[in-house]
Structures are given as C-alpha cells and as structure tokens.
Amino acid sequence: MMPAAAAPALLHLERVSRTYDGGRIVALRDVTLSIHLGEFIAVHGQSGSGKSTLINLLSGIEIPTSGVVSFEHLVSPSAAAWTALRGRRIGIVFQDFNLLPTLTAAENVEISMFGQPGGAAVRRGRALALLEDMGIAHRSGLRPQELSGGERRRAGIARGLANRPEILLADEPTSNLDSATGQAIIDLLFDLHQRGHGMTMVIVSHDPALIARCSRRIRLLDGAIVEDTSTVPAWRPAA
C-alpha cells in the first residue's frame, strides 16, 4: 500500500535566493524552509541579514531570483494568486508601516477587509475593534502623519489582522513601542495563536523575551539560515 502523501507545508521555500543590483547584493542565499500550520516562529539576526527580504518572499511581495516558493500545493503562485492569498489568508505587518497617507487609521485598517464578507458598517466596526485592541481607538480618525511612531506601528498591526489571516507575517511588530505596550502586543499575538484554530505566526524580532517564547527560532546571517530550532524535517514538493 502506498503511504499517505504528507500534507504540504503551509509555505515552503526551496533553495531560494534573492539578489539585487545584478547579483552584487545577496539579500537571501539558498534558503530552504518549511512553515507548518500552527507554528509560532521567530526570525532574528542582525540588521541587513535578510529578515525583511524573507518576509517579503513569504508573502509574494518579492519574487525569488532563483529557487521556488510554494503555498500549500501552489508552486510559484502567479502575481494574481499571491494577491488573492494576501487578501484572504496571509496578513502582513510591515516594518515601515506602509500606511496610506491620505487615509485615516480606521480606513487604513478597513482596506484590508475588501476581500471579506460584510459591508461598510461591518468593516468600520471591525476596524474600530482592532484599533481598540491596540489601544488606539481614540486615534482612529487621524491620518498617519498625525500619529506617533508607536501609534502607526499599532495601526499597521491592526491592518495586518483585519482580514482574519491564517498566517501572520510580522516584521518587527514591537519596535518603537514602550515595553508595556510591546508586551501587550506580544500577549495579543500569542492569544491569537492559541485561540480557536490558531494563527500561524512568523515574527521578525530583536526582543529576547519574544524570541524565547516562540516554539521555533530561525537566525539569519548574511542572508543564510545559520540556526533553525525546528524538529520537523523540511517538506519537499513532489518531483
């Protein structure tokens, strides 16, 4: 009897490299990595080691120079397929916020919900609830330039969660936050991970307390993985 095919990884990178400037800058170097449903992964490493590049490849915002990225059974998703995945299944918290300057904090959160059921009132209600969770509901009507760095960060986290993603890719979500607010955000991420079906988390962080709590830690150095505490072998797409 044939053994049952192993379930695919949620996300898989097979020998992925990303270079810039005609190959002179190597941001990510020959990375093979499987991310499984329900993991809580910390990605760490010094500045310039490739953390943001990795996050951008996992969300399809960047395309590898060589190697293959898969999402479940989708091997090298098209640009349209990545857009659909970002609309419905992947949430992203950007390192530099990426908030639209002409929209209020609430509107910035609402635009993540256009792929979801519900009308304008539902979107507004959910945006305000998320901003409330982040402690900035009273700032919901302000535009990004009227918010502090920490408030922008929190608006960016609210937006990343707005589409109820199955996997959240968060690039330094607790930087620019005071320690109490940072801790509250970390607790919220762990709560989302543990609650219900459990959100899969990939969090870039320098925070030793957050890194220590994660079930898996990946360290990058010069674009390569130099440490991965996973005990599960990498999943391989069928040849």
Ligand X SMILES: Nc1ncnc2c1ncn2[C@@H]1O[C@H](COP(=O)(O)OP(=O)(O)OP(=O)(O)O)[C@@H](O)[C@H]1O
Interface with ligand X includes 175 (CB under 6 A)?
no
* Residues 62/11, Cβ–Cβ less than 8 Å: no
Q: Is 112 in the site for Mg ion (CB under 5 A)?
A: no
Q: Among residues 96 and 227, whose Cβ is nearest to Mg ion?
A: 96
Alpha-carbon dihedral sign for residues 124, 130, 52, 226: negative
Planar angle of CA 203, 90, 176, nearest 5 degrees = 35
52 binds ligand X (CB under 6 A): yes
Q: Shortest Cβ distance from residue 145 to ligand X (Å)?
A: 22
Q: Write each residue from 85 to 114 as x if it is in contact with ligand X (CB under 6 A), else as -, in one continuous string.
A: ----------x-------------------
- Residues in the interface with ligand X (CB under 6 A) total 13
Tell me whether residue 151 or residue 171 sits nearer to ligand X (CB atom).
Answer: 171
In angstroms, give the least distance from the CB of 21 to ligand X: 6
- Any contact of residue 52 with Mg ion (CB under 5 A)? yes
**Distances in whole angstroms, Cα of residue 63 to Cα of each of 19, 60, 79, 168:** 10, 6, 9, 19
What's phi and psi for 126, nearest 5 deg?
-70, -40
Whole-angstrom Cα distance, residue 65 to residue 84? 22
* 50 lies in the site for ligand X, by CB under 6 A: yes
Q: Which is nearer to ligand X, 21 or 233 (CB)?
A: 21
| Contact indicator for 110, 118 with CB cutoff of 8 Å | no
List the structure tokens of 30: 């020959």
Interaction partner, residue 47 (Mg ion, ligand X, none; CB < 5-8 Å by kind)? ligand X
227 binds ligand X (CB under 6 A): no
Residue 202 · residue 37 · CB < 8 Å: no
Taking CB within 5 to 8 Å according to partner kind, which of Mg ion, ligand X, none is near residue 153? none
53 near ligand X, rule: CB under 6 A: yes
Site residues, ligand X (CB under 6 A): 20-21, 25, 27, 45, 47-53, 95
Site residues, Mg ion (CB under 5 A): 51-52, 95
